[in-house]
Structure 1
């Protein structure tokens, strides 16, 4: 490098530039200094040749490696293709970079002239690797250092903008896209309507348009569809980060959700009146918090002034007290960090106001198609969507930038196929086939080898079928709409009756001729259950027809516990059925038909049929609740101990419950809206905790037989041994950026955890909370000496197969990246002119590599372990949020079904206004709604099993932290109380692990059952 070369100084300013206009200005100045013009890869090659400077050469090396991938055909795959990209958000910039690498001419428009979004994005492992491969650390030295796995939107845009400029993308700010102009004659091409209309780009002809303009801007021709959940109000806030030591020491919160950490949110509410569903805290340029708040809490705290049904009006600026909102967000941030962040001061947004925003994400929209083609005067233009205008992300899942990047790669692959001359219908069909996979992607179901990711979908999506949608199914406007299947017509009741007759044929005393008197003795229902060998009830001959009520109660219990079929009538009502009640029985029997039914023409199979997978889920949840009730009884009995069971108490009589009256409110409960638990019937909306009023779900409640009330798990009066008491601050998952140590005797270690330190016959094994005892990573066994308490010293940890190789692979990746940084720093010291005598120049170079923070000084393998801990916490949070979102969508769908079902049932029971044909049609429609309800209940049951698993994971994580704090303490310093507490924690930990093991076994049984079915 030449001493004093001004181009080098300009390039350094370009690398460090922190504003959009500054970046563009520096790049223009650099090109002028080097005498370069033009765009595309030709400009990039010119920069490489002209800028022979160590820091630039390190960047060229990375970009050359990227550009050398076979998918780009040495930058010729899309030569001659002219693209217009709308929007300089992360997704638009990422798409522009890929198109430039393919050799296309790329023009990018952005209506703003600054990047001002402080909000922080969670990065999936592949996005981190992808950005590193683009040289992200050359532009932002702190990118994903240590255990960081996130970045502010502004910093991400700056990185991608700089890469795009270097690769020859033409970026124009303060230009707004307003529509397309078709060619006026066969010789012309497609243009854009722009503001200002004086922009020279109004004359730019292009044949590909990629829109990344956000959810509120979708080009004409694309249709949107909406998924709706219950009301969800999000709040984001940013505070100034002064990077003080006190701020550095405050742990981040990868994400905590009410669905598995109810105690933390209850503590928050009790202390502050703030009621949240979840909260996340990241440190970046700012202290960033994002949370979901409950409407009633916002009303009580005066944030929302008046309750309004319309969401837009509810959150309108004139209905929001801005000062109260700031106070609400600040108090939530303080509490969640245990008041350890000093002097919280709001960062400012682009309007110079405190950066706090409240928004609604009740409804999420997505485009029905990912691409379409428009044709006019023989000229075609390919339109594609990426980012929010393709799929609006549900922010708590951290999917926005990850799926946005995936969509950018998919769009680039589509353009590659387009440029290769693939017929338009085939291009669209393949693009829509890939688009089908996008909304289901997660780090778990995408390919694990992220270093192999490219624009080729097969490198990212396992077992992708690029022909899932055929060319015959699309037109130039995208996928042709497929008409929904019509509601089943015909004599459904007759079909159901025929099936019941065939299923009960041959049983003595059973003659099914109707849906009323044929069932009152209980023999017909017993025969129906007995016909299919899935039941514990085998002895048909033992049924006493004279005791019909008790017989029906037993049969209803069997169907509920073994099949997950909720009763629709009480046993007393079943024993006294009359013709007007047949509608209830028809809907109840339709559940059996849905599980075991065959077509009327086929003889009922003699082969044992496997019940649906929810059987195990419902049964397990039922047992879990019953064991909780039993433990409560034991704890309440005088002088009782866990080893001294309480004699069972006779249950309250529930055989005579009135099925059409809600157990809670007493009002009429119609068939489709009817839910039941513990033999009680009620509206789903009335199923609430007696103490706090929280909405309960089937499969996640506690019932007290003594007082007949239902409770949430937090407020059920459990014995102390079943609670996991925690301080408010420790109710959150461990957020420390480096793992603590667990000491175990070396003789007790089986397997070879090679990393660690030898100290006096003990090996210091660094393990993260969920890695030590998680069934998926480590196997835990424990032994107890005869007639002695379970001893912590007997705890054995065994490395599971594949755990250590995966760990070493991760260590190797980070080690390689660290070596690159060291090489770059050394080159900087050697090649910077006058580095030894020119302190300002040396400071300029080394400013790219700031002094590492405390956690960054740890060896790479320790940081890898800490990163894995954070990833597991984030994975748990994302799973919880995905489950919560789906449960809310199911709840909304339930309400819609209930409204339709109530209307139909009223028509059916009003005999004066109906004729036979109408009744048949309405009955068919009602049974169709019941079937949809059953399917939703099946899905809800599976989700509730996943909720139980998350709760157990959280309990295990918390117990693990407690156990580690005791085991780190020297034996000589432990008090008898310490030893007793340690033993108790270990017992609880083993219980949690065993419960998780049961869940895993049930899930395996469920999968096998589905395969057999």
Structure 2
């Protein structure tokens, strides 16, 4: 009887975990589930397997079927491809969480840090067909029943984060919220690469890792990366979120998937005549909130008093001191009211994370883009692979809804890079491949990527219709291999026009060092060359055991 009560209790907790609507609720119910099932959430290697064994619940089994199907892809090598890697992921936005999931499926130990305690972003994301398919295959509908029902092709950022957080935890990702990243700590003595955190006493501050993925948003870029600004003709964007009371009347109001002036001139002219609001386009999506995004013309913003003074410089024009926030709220309210035909009469602003009306205005056409997506840094003989995903790699162009789709592609490309690195591919070749893929990212559209979504994996050839992984050569990315000065291991090519593989001495030393690093700590193994050190066969056995322990 006690056993049955215990099972019922864990089943109820699992249901609460699945239905949880805040980040803290998710973590709370997950911790309770682990306690009831006597699971150690830090046992990343065996966590998911033990969870499936101990939670014998029909609702959970439907989810296991989804996750098992993804985990069975050949690229993961049954969660052994990156079994020796320790990865720190910064940022629990959709791209950071999606990257963490892939690294976990590869068998890596993954720790994810997020400064915020809660997910508060109401803005709604447009999803490309492959993104919808990808999320469904991760069990999105199990966590959020309304996910992309019928013709819906969007979801709020907050709901997407909750879905991916739940999947991450089930797969053994260690997630810490309320932790602020302050920079990397270089190796000293026996300690490897670590992170400086706030609070300093946080347990994750002791975590040593060899892979660092920044998904910290557009404002955070790790040292060593340069950004360039892409700017076109000024386009002023406004986003606004109103409370969705989920009444029958609200449900009847049709969404606006995207109306541009050139396709419906009468609508925009009537809007201008009645309200003095002049727009280029407007989108209305219904999710947790009533979400509106529009591109407004400068003259109408000046006329309505939203912008106080006219400046030719966009930064001055949209500076907080030059914007009347009350007038901005009225502008967004009137545009939303008119575009829905007055069928949303009780338009009350939702609150943002600061407790203010969730309305924002910014320059749509000013986008940041990283010059490179990855680099390798080495200090005191210890390497770390560093990569960018999400907004700190490429800021999206909001009106086209490219952010989450390209963000997921970047997450997959990054996971593929980590896999190559773990498999022993030379460092410069790993970087060159990643940069070759990065060149394609800004060109991807639903039309020029593969339509065979069921075949998608982190392998770029399954997604990009035409990808040349050698578009950038190893000798072209030497500047992305950062070695401490004076190190005898600094990689140099005598002639930049010569491919890395043609420098036989450099390749020999790199391979020897790779063998030494991956057999370190094995008894009676001391590799000094490629002849005497291998005669007994012990060194070869150690190398095999390091990557495929189940074979030995």
Interval of TM-score (by shorter of Structure 1 and Structure 2): 0.7 to 0.9
Q: 1:106, 1:169 within 8 Å by CA — same for their partners in 2?
A: yes
Q: Deviations over 1:161-182 (max 9, x none)?
A: 0000000000011111121111
Question: Relative contact order (C-alpha < 8 Å, sep 6+): which is higher?
Answer: 2
Does 2:164 correspond to 1:160? yes
Alpha-carbon shift at residue 319 of structure 1 (Å): 2.1
1:85-104 alignment to 2 at 5 Å? 85-104=89-108
Paired position in structure 2 for 1:127: 131
Structure (1 or 2) with the greater helix fraction: 1
Match of 1:70 among 57, 70, 74: 74
Deviation, structure 1 residue 402? 0.3
1:405 corresponds in structure 2 to 408
Shift of 1:386: 0.4
In the TM superposition, residue 388 of structure 1 has moved relative to its aligned partner by 0.4
Aligned to 2:144: 140
Whole-angstrom CA distance in 2 between matches of 1:208 and 1:432: 17
2:377/2:481 contact within 8 Å kept: no
- Per-residue displacement from partner, 1:694-751 (whole Å, max 9, x unpaired)? xxxxxxxxxxxxxxxxxxxxxxxxxxxxxxxxxxxxxxxxxxxxxxxxxxxxxxxxxx
Distance in 2, Cα, partners of 1:119 & 1:2:
43
The question of whether the paired residues in 2 share the 8 Å contact of 1:39 and 1:105 is answered with no
* Distance of 2:308 and 2:251 partners within structure 1: 37
> Residues 309 and 196 (structure 1 numbering): CA distance in 2 closer, same or farther, change over 3 Å?
farther
Deviation readout 1:647-675 (Å, 9 max, x if unpaired): xxxxxxxxxxxxxxxxxxxxxxxxxxxxx
Corresponding residue SS for 2:46:
helix
Look up the SS of the partner of 2:361 in the other structure. strand
2:388 is the alignment partner of 1:372: no
Structure 1 residue 346 displacement after superposition: 1.3
Q: What is the Cα deviation at residue 329 of structure 1?
A: 0.3
- The separation in 2 between residues aligned to 1:478 and 1:223, in whole angstroms, is 15
Tell me the distance in 1 between the aligned counterparts of 2:71 and 2:57: 20
Q: Is the 8 A contact 1:99 1:106 kept in 2?
A: yes
Aligned match of 1:273? 276
Q: Which residues in structure 2 correspond to 1:730-879 (within 5 Å)?
A: none
Can you list the C-alpha shifts for 1:456-488, whole angstroms capped at 9, x where unaligned?
0000001211111111211151799xxxxxxxx
Work out which of the two has the higher radius of gyration on C-alpha atoms and give 1 or 2.
1
Distance of 1:352 and 1:194 partners within structure 2: 27
Which residues in structure 2 correspond to 1:585-604 (within 5 Å)?
none
8 Å CA contact 1:280–1:290 kept in 2: the answer is yes
Q: Does 1:330 align with 2:324?
A: no
* Rounded Cα–Cα distance in structure 2 between residues aligned with 1:320 and 1:60: 50
Counterpart CA distance in 2 for 1:287 and 1:41 is 42
Cα separation, 1, equivalents of 2:320 and 2:191: 47
Alignment match of 2:57 (pick from 36, 53, 59): 53
Contact 2:337/2:345 (8 A) holds in 1: no
| Uncovered stretches (5+) of structure 2, i.e. residues with no partner | 483-491, 493-552
Cα offset, 1:39, TM superposition: 3.2
Q: Which residue of 1 aligns with 2:486?
A: none
The answer to whether the 8 A contact 2:95-2:404 is kept is yes
For these two proteins, the number of residue pairs brought into alignment is 479
Question: What does 1:17-36 align with in structure 2 at a 5 Å threshold?
Answer: 17-36=20-39
Q: Any stretches of 5+ residues in structure 1 without a counterpart?
A: 481-1013
2:83 is aligned with 1:79? yes
Aligned-pair CA distance for 1:450: 1.1
Aligned pairs (5 A) from 1:685-700: none
- The answer as to 2:260 corresponding to 1:257 is yes
Deviation at 1:41, TM superposition (A): 4.1
Q: Which residue of 1 aligns with 2:8?
A: 5
Secondary structure in structure 2 of the residue aligned to 1:396: helix
2:426 matched residue in structure 1: 423
- TM-score norm. by structure 1 comes to 0.47
What is the 5 A alignment of 1:538-549? Answer: none
SS of the aligned residue for 1:474 comes to: helix
Q: Distance in 1 between matches of 2:211 and 2:337?
A: 49
User: What's the counterpart of residue 302 of structure 1?
Assistant: 305
Looking at secondary structure, tell me which structure has more strand per residue.
2
Q: Tell me the residue number matched to 2:389.
A: 386
Q: Quick one: structure 1 residues 35 and 74, their matched pair in 2 at CA, closer, same or farther if it must change by over 3 Å?
A: same
Shift of 1:312: 3.0
Counterpart residue number, 1:113: 117
Q: Deviations along 1:570-589, whole A, 9 cap, x unmatched?
A: xxxxxxxxxxxxxxxxxxxx
Aligned partner of 2:538 in structure 1 is none
